[in-house]
Chain A
Amino acid sequence: MPSPPLLEVKDLYVQFPTPRGVVDAVTGVSFTVAPGETVAIVGESGSGKSVSSLAVMGLLGTGRISSGSVLLRGEELVGTDPERLRELRGTEMAMIFQNPMTSLDPLFTVGDQIIEAIRAHRRVSRREARARALELLREVGLPDPERRIRSYPHELSGGQQQRVMIAIALACEPALLIADEPTTALDVTVEAQILDLLRRMQRDHGTALLLITHDMAVVAEMADRVVVMYAGQVVEQGPVREVLRSPYNPYTRALIDSIPMPTTPRNRPMPAISGSVPTPAQLPPGCRFHPRCPSAQRRCGREVPPLLEVGVGRASRCWLHETTGASPAAVGGEVRRAG
């Protein structure tokens, strides 16, 4: 009997107000994260990957969840009391962001920020919190922690700031860590160290990781399962090795093909996807990818394909799968009967 998921996002819809009216940034997105698991949400600009993670944390700003549910250990977060959400943030789920410099408060020392995170959720003395903060700084590999605990964020490098962010996020041992493009702003040699750190923290604390990224190689290195998003929808999901090695969805396949790798032939044009990602205000009819899809059929421009189960634990949103007789999937609330 598999253990119940830690996080369950079901049929999530997120809207944002814009000068031209309300736009749907995320439409009907569902995914789960099991305890201790690493799930990557991958997509390009406008895919809705960041918005989905912010929705889980309840940090949407002007946006709102218009329908759907977010269950953390079975507890519904959508519409819940803001006080309860604040309690959960830090103790059960925490988030780190792309640019640590803008997420850390420039007016407080690094130590104070970790202590604040601890004392917001735990009844401990300042002295105990400080000792724990030191321990955390050591654990995240910050050199010279006794001195650095008194540093201000601007005195640290990007990589060091990100380590501090991780320390703050893990201060109260949350079961789920959400990382939104945690290494995108870092040099690659620093990125490698931060990814190593995240893996180590997961191993030592059993933390699940929901990793938002545009970088397929990071997905390949870090994740157990991957959720591919395009223009606000999930278009494919499944175990990482399987999806990356043999993707079902034409977008996933085209995306992987367009990534330059050490083996990419240099004397040929790269297989590029023509056109660009549609904005939420300009979604094409039917399948959102169809104008750019090399395999598009007439039906694709008229009807939105559902997410279909195409294998064990694998799903893909594409009309091509109907012709192979794939069975309908009860994946996240969307059920369709095949032909």
Chain B
Amino acid sequence: MSDHVTTTAAGNGALATGQQARPSPDRVEPSILFEARDLVKRFRTRGHTVHAVNGVSLRIPRGRTVGLVGESGSGKSTVARLALRLLDPTSGELHFDGVDLLRASRREMRALRRRMQIVFQNPLGSLNPRMRVLHAVGEPLVVHRIAKGRQLVDRVVELLEKVGLSAADLYKFSHQFSGGQAQRIGIARALATDPDLIVCDEAVSALDVSVQAQVLNLLKRLQAELGLSYLFIAHDLNVVRYMADEICVMYLGQIVERGDGDTLFADPRHPYTQMLVSAVPEFAPGREGERRHRVAPRGEPASPSNPPPGCHFHPRCSKATARCRTEAPKVHRIADGRTVACHLYDPAGEANGK
């Protein structure tokens, strides 16, 4: 499974030839359910162009979770929508279970959509307030003609019970539930068509901390029970670390570093990841005042309508060199399952100039 070489026009440069980016290894490597290659998405609005996604590649193995973490303008939510073809990419490839999504016919896509679903950030905002729970959770079953009548009700009750709700909730409206319960309804709805992949787009960000833990536990339990794969998108590094087998750190439309959560926290390599990890408020009740200061945060995330030339991160990077200002870094593999897109890791030699 070697990665192909991309042209620099796509913005992200080539993987060092001969190298392979593998998903997190395990005793037996699970097969790849979903793959995105060199995804690019540009939006054109009123004269300027937003480079939302600029060359993103990732692979989601069956039954595993890939996390996408990043701040404003990172493009992570756009990647979520591209993955499900809720948006079409400007260029790049999408494969689900071996099927090329961009070449699939409308009928094929409809069948595939049963297998990929999404849970959104705002539980109350993403449910139709005029729909009772039975309708909200059952709608996918109706649309895909999976069940109707008595069978539909039974299936919805089964789904509600799976997420910790019950038949007593069938005829309620979403506003009658708390945020955490509404998110469970959203998850039940996503499970309705028995999907293989669920995209969780900031699925717990709007929830209270104690409820967040409940929903994370539910998601993990469902994954174990149903063999689900997740594309888990969040801005909270601690949450992503808990959920994901592999984390992709995004900055301004690109994946700047990839690796296992614990390693990223303990030993971040990309200057942006270092800044991100340092910035996360540290809950260390034993320690006095000052935080663990690895990299002082500088500047603010730049706008995707105006990405800096060369390496997009260079204006905020304390280690930037002349090369960084003009040349986009390639993705370098530094260990098993770890890649970094930064000139500092170029095995070919020093970053030129200073």
Contact with A along B270-308 (1 / 0, CB 8 A): 000001101111111110000100000100110000000
Interface set, chain A 234-266, CB cutoff 8 A to B: 240-241, 244-245, 254-256, 258-262, 264, 266
List A contacts of B216 (CB < 8 A).
Answer: 260, 270, 272
Which residues on B sit within 8 Å (CB–CB) of A271? 213
- The stretch that binds A, out of B80-88, B187-195, B232-240, is B232-240
Q: Given the complex, which residues of A lie within 8 Å of B235, measured CB to CB?
A: 187-188
The answer to whether A188 and B279 touch (CB under 8 A), given A214-B209, A270-B213, is yes
Pick from B178, B239, B275, B276: contact of A260, CB below 8 A. B239
Q: Contact between A260 and B210 (Cβ–Cβ < 8 Å)?
A: no
Contact in complex: B213, A262 (CB < 8 Å): no
- Decide if A269 is an interface residue (CB 8 Å cutoff): yes
- Is there a chain B Cβ closer than 8 Å to A293's Cβ? no
Given contacts A187-B71, A188-B235, contact A44 B209 (CB under 8 A): yes
Contacts of A103 in B (CB 8 A): none
Which single member of A187, A254, A262 contacts B241 (CB below 8 Å)?
A262
Given contacts A258-B213, A261-B238, A264-B242, contact A192 B282 (CB under 8 A): no
From A189, A255, A269, name the one whose CB has the most chain B CB atoms within 10 angstroms.
A189
| Contact A272 B282, beta carbon cutoff 8 Å | no
> With A and B bound together, what is the CA distance between A189 and B81 in angstroms?
25
In the assembled complex, the Cα of A190 lies from the Cα of B262 at a distance in Å of 23
Give the distance to chain A from B317, nearest Cβ to Cβ, in Å.
Answer: 12
Contact with A along B95-133 (1 / 0, CB 8 A): 000000000000000000000000000000000000000
B179 within 8 A of A: yes
Asked if B180 and A276 sit within 8 Å, CB to CB, the answer is yes
Q: How far is the CA of A159 from the CA of B119 in the complex (A)?
A: 29
B212 and A258 contacting across the interface, CB-CB below 8 Å:
yes
Q: How far is the CA of A159 from the CA of B72 in the complex (A)?
A: 12
Partner of A190, one of B221, B241, B265, B297: B297
A296 within 8 A of B: no
Using A157-B300, A187-B301 as known contacts, say yes or no to A217 and B242 having CB atoms under 8 A apart.
no
Chain A 186-198 near chain B by CB (<8 Å), digits 1 or 0? 0111111101000
Q: A273 within 8 Å of B by Cβ?
A: yes
Are the C-beta atoms of A195 and B242 separated by less than 8 Å? no
Instruction: Identify which of residues 272-290 in chain A touch chain B, using a CB-to-CB cut-off of 8 Å.
Output: 272-274, 276-277
Report if A218 contacts B (CB, 8 A). Answer: yes
Tell yes or no: A320 within 8 A of B by CB: no
Kindly state whether residue A101 has any CB partner on chain B within 8 Å. Answer: no
Q: How far is the CB of A271 from chain B (nearest CB, A)?
A: 7
Q: Determine chain B's interface SS by DSSP, over half rule.
A: helix
B89 CB contacts on chain A under 8 angstroms: none
Residue contact A255 to B279, C-beta cutoff 8 Å: no
B181 proximal to A (CB < 8 A)? yes
At the interface, yes or no: A181 with Cβ under 8 Å from chain B?
A: no
Instruction: Kindly provide the distance from the CB of B48 to the nearest chain A CB, expressed in whole angstroms.
Output: 16
Question: Contact: B210 with A216, CB < 8 Å?
Answer: no
Residue of B nearest to A269 (CB): B217
In the complex formed, the residue of A with least CB distance to B204 is A260
Number of A-B residue pairs having CB atoms within 8 Å of each other in the complex: 126
Contact B276–A188 (Cβ < 8 Å)? yes
A189 to B283, CA, bound (A): 16
Nearest CB of A to B279, in Å: 4
* Cβ A270 vs Cβ B242 within 8 A: yes
Report if A220 contacts B (CB, 8 A): yes
B residues less than 8 Å from A193 (CB atoms): 297
Residue of A nearest to B74 (CB): A187
Instruction: Give bound CA distance, A245 to B286, whole Å.
Output: 7
A215 in the interface (beta carbon within 8 A): yes
Across the interface, do A187 and B300 meet the contact criterion of CB distance under 8 Å?
yes
Residues of A within 8 A of B283 (CB): 216-217, 220, 244, 256, 259, 261
Question: How many chain A residues have a CB neighbour from B under 8 Å?
Answer: 43
Which residues does chain B contribute within 8 Å of A254, judged by CB atoms? 210
Give CA–CA (A192, B298) in the complex, Å. 10
Q: Interface size on B (CB < 8 Å)?
A: 43
Distance, CA A262 to CA B239, complexed state (A): 9
CB-contacts of A154-188 with B (<8 A): 157-160, 187-188
For window 121-154 of B, CB contacts with A under 8 Å fall at none
B285 → chain A, closest Cβ, in Å?
Answer: 4
Which listed residue, A44, A195, A217, touches B208 by the CB 8 Å rule?
Answer: A44
Check if A240 sits within 8 Å of B285, measured CB to CB: yes
Q: Is the CB of B238 within 8 A of A189?
A: no
In angstroms, Cα B215 to Cα A276, docked, is 12
Smallest Cβ-Cβ distance to B217: which chain A residue: A269
A150, B212: Cα distance in complex, Å: 42
In the docked arrangement, what's the CA distance between A158 and B217, Å?
32
On chain B, the residues within 8 Å of A215 by CB distance are 281
Give A240 to B220 CA distance when docked, in angstroms: 32
Flag if B300 contacts A190 (CB, 8 Å). yes
Would you call B186 an interface residue if the criterion is a C-beta within 8 Å of the partner chain's C-beta atoms?
no
- Nearest CB in chain A: distance from B139 CB, A: 25
A262 x B265 contact (CB < 8 A) = yes
**CB contact under 8 A between A217 and B213, given known A45-B179, A190-B297:** no
A2 to B198 CA separation, bound complex (whole angstroms): 58
Residues of A with C-beta under 8 A to B217? 269-270, 272
Which residues of chain A are within 8 angstroms of B280 by Cβ–Cβ distance?
Answer: 188, 217
Q: Does B214 touch A at the CB level, under 8 Å?
A: yes
In the assembly, what is the distance between CA of A266 and CA of B208, in Å? Answer: 20
Cβ-based interface call for B261 (8 A): yes
Least Cβ–Cβ distance between A20 and chain B, in angstroms: 14
Quick check: A221 and B300 within 8 Å, CB to CB? no
Residue of chain A at shortest CB distance from B286 = A245
Please name all residues of chain B whose beta carbon is closer than 8 Å to the beta carbon of A270 when the two chains form the complex: 213, 216-217, 242
Question: Given A220-B281, A244-B285, does the pair A189, B241 have CB atoms closer than 8 Å?
Answer: no
Interfacial residues, chain A to chain B (CB-CB below 8 A): 44-45, 157-160, 187-193, 195, 214-218, 220-221, 240-241, 244-245, 254-256, 258-262, 264, 266, 269-274, 276-277
Q: Which 6 A-B pairs have the closest CB atoms?
A: A217-B281, A272-B213, A244-B285, A187-B71, A192-B279, A258-B213
Pick 17 A–B contacts, CB within 8 A, sort by A: A45-B208, A159-B300, A160-B300, A187-B72, A188-B276, A188-B279, A191-B281, A244-B283, A260-B216, A260-B241, A262-B262, A264-B241, A266-B242, A270-B213, A270-B217, A272-B210, A277-B208
